């Protein structure tokens, strides 16, 4: 008699049938499976911050100190001022600005790189500060909304936003202004369509877009086409 072409899987081990489950061709008890699921759900619920507080097992089986305890020394230049800081290396630039240095002009809208409320300038380029780690920017020039004015003299973009009512609630405005400064410097403000395109990473829930465009055009003309 010929062998069947598709042999049957090996029989389940004996015991309580509800206590056993075949998963991905490996044999695992139902209890082990449920423990794993429960652990995964807990991890999702607690989030990365709390999970990171737990110690990390090493290949040798010993417990390594968690990343939360390993502070890093970093030197940052923000708005022309040098800061020597000891920070958790996982700190976003936005959290460093707001929580550590109390520079709360940069706003946390989404914390996911989608709204632009946290926009700052790094070496003149716009960056979503919620998406970058502070420790990555040693030796770079970081400019926030607090650093645009010269003493009492507002930046031309700030003045133009005031004159054109380029905001309503104002939550997106620091990011809009920082972004507009870079947009002008890039030469991406030739007409309304170009301004709208190159400012599209900065969302305004109040819908102040027409006034924002007018403000940027005024600043462009006042500054002779760029920053
Ligand atoms: Fe950074 Fe929204 S808070 S993009
Ligand atoms: Fe309110 Fe832009 S002014 S979100």
Ligand 2, atom 2: nearest CA belongs to which residue? 204
Q: Is the CB of 110 under 6 A from ligand 2?
A: no
pTM of the full predicted structure?
A: 0.72
What one-character DSSP code corresponds to residue 203? -
End-to-end CA distance of the chain: 87
Determine the average pLDDT of the residues in 202-217: 98
Determine the average pLDDT of the residues in 126-135: 98
- Ligand 2 center to 200 CA (angstroms): 14
Determine the average pLDDT of the residues in 170-189: 98
Ligand 1, atom 4: nearest CA belongs to which residue? 113
Considering only residues 149 and 58, tell me which one the structure prediction assigns the higher pLDDT. 149
Q: Is the CB of 118 under 6 A from ligand 1?
A: yes
Q: Is the CB of 169 under 6 A from ligand 2?
A: yes
Closest atom of ligand 1 to CA, residue 113: 4
Residue 103 to residue 92: CA distance in whole angstroms: 14
CB contact at 8 A, 125 and 182: yes
For residue 88, what pLDDT is reported? 97
Considering only residues 152 and 17, tell me which one the structure prediction assigns the higher pLDDT. 152
Is the pLDDT score of 39 beyond 60?
no
Q: Return the percentage of the chain with pLDDT > 90, whole number.
A: 67
Is the pLDDT score of 98 beyond 70?
yes
Ligand lying nearest the CA atom of residue 169: 2
Q: Is the CB of 203 under 6 A from ligand 2?
A: no
- Ligand 2 center to 170 CA (angstroms): 5
Nearest to 97 by CA among 79, 114, 113: 79
CB contact at 8 A, 209 and 196: yes
For residue 34, what pLDDT is reported? 42
Question: Which domains, ranges and CATH numbers included, belong to the chain?
Answer: 92-222 (1.10.150.120)
Residue whose CB lies within 8 A of the most ligand 2 atoms, among 171, 180, 212, for a mutation test: 171
- Ligand 2 center to 102 CA (angstroms): 22
Ligand lying nearest the CA atom of residue 208: 2
Instruction: Give the pairing type, strands 72-78 and 63-64.
Output: unpaired
């Amino acid at each position: 008699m010929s062998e069947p072409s598709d042999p049957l899987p090996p029989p389940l081990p004996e015991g309580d049938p509800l206590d056993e489950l075949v998963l991905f061709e490996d044999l695992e008890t139902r209890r082990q499976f449920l423990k794993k699921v429960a652990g995964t759900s807990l991890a999702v619920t607690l989030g990365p911050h709390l999970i990171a507080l737990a110690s990390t097992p090493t290949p040798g089986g010993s417990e390594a100190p968690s990343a939360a305890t390993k502070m890093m020394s970093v030197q940052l230049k923000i708005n022309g001022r040098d800061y020597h800081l000891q920070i958790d290396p996982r700190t976003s630039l936005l959290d460093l600005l707001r929580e550590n240095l109390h520079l709360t002009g940069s706003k946390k809208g989404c914390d996911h790189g989608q709204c632009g409320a946290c926009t700052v300038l790094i070496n003149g380029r716009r960056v979503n500060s919620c998406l970058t780690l502070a420790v990555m920017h040693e030796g770079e020039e970081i400019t926030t909304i607090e650093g645009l004015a010269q003493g009492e003299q507002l930046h031309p973009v700030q003045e133009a936003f005031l004159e054109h009512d380029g905001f309503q609630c104002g939550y997106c405005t620091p990011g809009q202004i920082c972004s507009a400064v870079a947009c002008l410097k890039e030469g991406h403000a030739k007409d309304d369509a170009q301004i709208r395109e190159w400012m599209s990473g900065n969302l305004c829930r109040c819908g102040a877009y027409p006034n924002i465009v007018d403000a940027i055009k005024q600043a462009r003309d006042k500054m002779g086409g760029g920053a």
